């Protein structure tokens, strides 16, 4: 069963990589590429635009409405506001959606969760297999070392990333907090300056670094008086995320309505 995938923001950096990943994937094919309605690339072939050196027979269009009959699942790595509108469109037209957008507010996340009653959604801050594995390792580390450790999360991304901390860093923190029985909103510290006093034990610190073209580095540190354990993931290519998102889209088509994450896609 082949899943027809639509990619919104197809002319962007991630969009082009998603087109390439879709072309490489088994069980998936590109059904539509959506770009801005005033983009000069309107009407171009998606394969040529993405630099694949061949035509895919998919013409770039300026709206989801124009592509509504051409796809089963939408992949969305856009902005919070655009993603919320795209969820409503997909719900109204019986489409699934794979969301990689970060920076959603608590209210937007609640709206997303509610939409899952009537549609199929995969929502994850990171679609790499390695990060998904790290989430499971974190649960183990938090259970064994959390009570004795000072816990810090350090993340670094390219200078163009607009939200901080990254969605992945926040998810790492959520997993640790959930394992410890803490509320992340109560224990998170997103930066230190000046005379801060001694570090409290029940705290998860976040440090954000931005610079250059770093795809994404994340480290969670469990530091005790005598030793330190660090769980680190370093992404070297955006293709890692693209392949995971396409895998999620192909998987989603056969699922019931609901909100899923990469843990579900990978069967963890």
Class for the domain spanning 129-235:
alpha beta
pLDDT of residue 104: 92
Would you state the structure tokens that stand for residue 213, as one six-digit string?
């073209």
Active-site hit among 29, 68, 93, 161: 161
- Please determine whether the domains at 3-123+238-266 and 129-235 fall in the same fold group of CATH: no
Active-site hit among 157, 218, 233, 243: 157
Give the distance from CA 20 to its chain's centroid: 18
pLDDT of 1 higher than 90: no
The domains of the chain are located at: 3-123+238-266, 129-235
Q: Which residues contact 199 (CB under 8 A, 6 or more apart)?
A: 150, 205
pLDDT of residue 125: 86
Per the annotation, the verdict on 161 as an active-site residue is: yes
What average pLDDT is seen over the chain?
Answer: 95
Q: What is the mean pLDDT of residues 146-151?
A: 95
Distance CA 263, CA 74 (A): 19
Distance CA 136, CA 172 (A): 10
In this structure, CATH architecture of domain 3-123+238-266: 3-Layer(aba) Sandwich (3.40)
Q: Which residues contact 83 (CB under 8 A, 6 or more apart)?
A: 76, 99, 101, 104, 108
Would you state the structure tokens that stand for residue 109, as one six-digit string?
């996340």
């Amino acid at each position: 069963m082949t899943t027809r995938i639509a990619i919104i923001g197809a002319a962007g950096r991630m969009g082009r990589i998603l087109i390439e990943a879709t072309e490489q994937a088994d069980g998936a094919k590109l059904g539509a590429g959506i770009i801005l309605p005033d983009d000069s690339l309107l009407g171009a072939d998606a394969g040529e635009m993405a630099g694949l050196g061949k035509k895919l027979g998919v013409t770039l269009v300026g709206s989801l409405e124009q592509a509504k009959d051409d796809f089963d699942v939408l992949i969305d790595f856009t902005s919070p506001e655009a993603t919320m509108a795209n969820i409503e469109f997909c719900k109204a037209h019986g489409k699934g959606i794979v969301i990689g957008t970060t920076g959603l507010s608590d209210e937007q996340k609640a709206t997303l969760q509610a939409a899952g009653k009537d549609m199929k959604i995969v929502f994850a801050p990171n679609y790499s297999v390695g990060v998904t594995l790290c989430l499971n390792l974190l649960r183990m580390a938090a259970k064994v070392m959390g009570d004795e450790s000072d816990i810090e999360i350090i993340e670094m991304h390219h200078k163009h990333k607009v939200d901080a901390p990254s969605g992945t860093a926040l998810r790492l923190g959520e997993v640790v907090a959930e394992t410890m029985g803490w509320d992340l909103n109560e224990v998170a510290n997103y930066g230190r300056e000046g005379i801060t006093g001694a570090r409290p034990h029940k705290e998860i610190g976040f440090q954000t670094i931005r610079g250059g073209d770093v795809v994404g580095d994340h480290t969670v540190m469990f530091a005790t008086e005598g030793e330190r354990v660090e769980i680190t993931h370093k992404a070297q290519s955006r293709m890692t995320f693209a392949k995971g998102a396409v895998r999620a889209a192909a998987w989603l088509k056969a699922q019931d309505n609901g909100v899923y994450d990469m843990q579900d896609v990978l069967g963890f």
